[in-house]
Amino acid sequence: MKLMPSEDLVIFPGLLQLQPNEARKVRIGLPAQQNVAIEKSYRIFLDELPEAKKLERNQVRVLARIGVPIFLQPKEPKPSLAPTIGESSAEGFLVELKNIGNVHLIIQEISITGLGAGEAPLFEEKLTGGYLLANSTRHHRIKVPADRRGKLSACRLHIVTPEGLSEETLRCTATPVAQ
């Protein structure tokens, strides 16, 4: 994830001090009304600053840093995930998860099952979920066991999002290694 500084949001207060078990509100807003066609995403960082006192010998100071995602959604949010099977290689193939919608998606769980003749399962692999921002693509390299590469004919993707379960079967192959 590539992050760049932005002046788009107003944050108040910009600096605050908390005592143990104290809670305070931080307000986040826009300087003006914005209509966006594609969601804008931001990450606000809350950093603990070091105390002014010096450390004693053999002490370590651990400071917290919390990143909070902020999303500015369009008036008509339309999430849409388009999984595809990419290039095949001697080790396996590439799965591409593309968000063709105008808002981020949260992928809670994703797994892929390689299928052979009669949809017999050949292998299963669980993949990393997380955020998938609008107009972005995530690539996963899938390694297929050597003895099953020539038998692979399709892949079933099992994807769980907050909107529910989606299953899709796609044609996929892995180039068998010549003996």
pTM beyond 0.85: the answer is: no
CB atoms within 10 A of CB 118: 6
Q: Which CATH architecture has domain 81-171?
A: Sandwich (2.60)
Q: Is the pLDDT of residue 147 over 80?
A: yes
Residue in the structure block whose two tokens are 């919390």? 66
Convert the pLDDT of each residue in 28-80 to its tens digit: 988 887 888 999 999 999 888 888 788 788 888 888 999 999 999 999 999 89
For the chain, the structural domain boundaries read 1-74, 81-171
Q: Summarize the confidence of residues 149-174 as an average pLDDT.
A: 89
Q: Summarize the confidence of residues 128-155 as an average pLDDT.
A: 89
